[in-house]
Amino acid sequence: MIVQDVSNIDNYIACSIDVQSEIVVPVLKNSDFVAEIDIDSHAFAPFTNRDQELLETIAYKIKELF
């Protein structure tokens, strides 16, 4: 999930008041959720589909750690 502007999410809970954007990718093992990669940004709309693809590749590789 890419959220380019967290102020548009009604129930968004930020870990810092400076967060403007976020990207979250689940780590799944055997279809079970085991972790997530969650990156916050202080910039507005910095994330691209390429960022998501890269993080999904990383999530796929690290699933074996669980």
> Which one-letter amino acid corresponds to residue 52?
Q
- Which tens digit of pLDDT belongs to each residue from 11-59? 988 889 999 999 999 999 999 999 999 999 999 999 999 999 999 999 9
User: May I ask the CATH architecture of the domain 2-65?
Assistant: 2-Layer Sandwich (3.30)
Domain boundary assignment for the chain: 2-65
5 pLDDT tier (thresholds 50, 70, 90): very high
pLDDT of residue 19: 96
Task: Judge whether 42 and 22 are in contact, CB under 8 Å.
Answer: no
pLDDT of residue 13: 87
**In Å, what is the CA distance from 13 to each residue of 6, 10, 50, 66?**
9, 9, 25, 27
pLDDT of residue 15: 86
Which pairing describes strands 21-29 and 32-41: parallel, antiparallel, or unpaired?
antiparallel
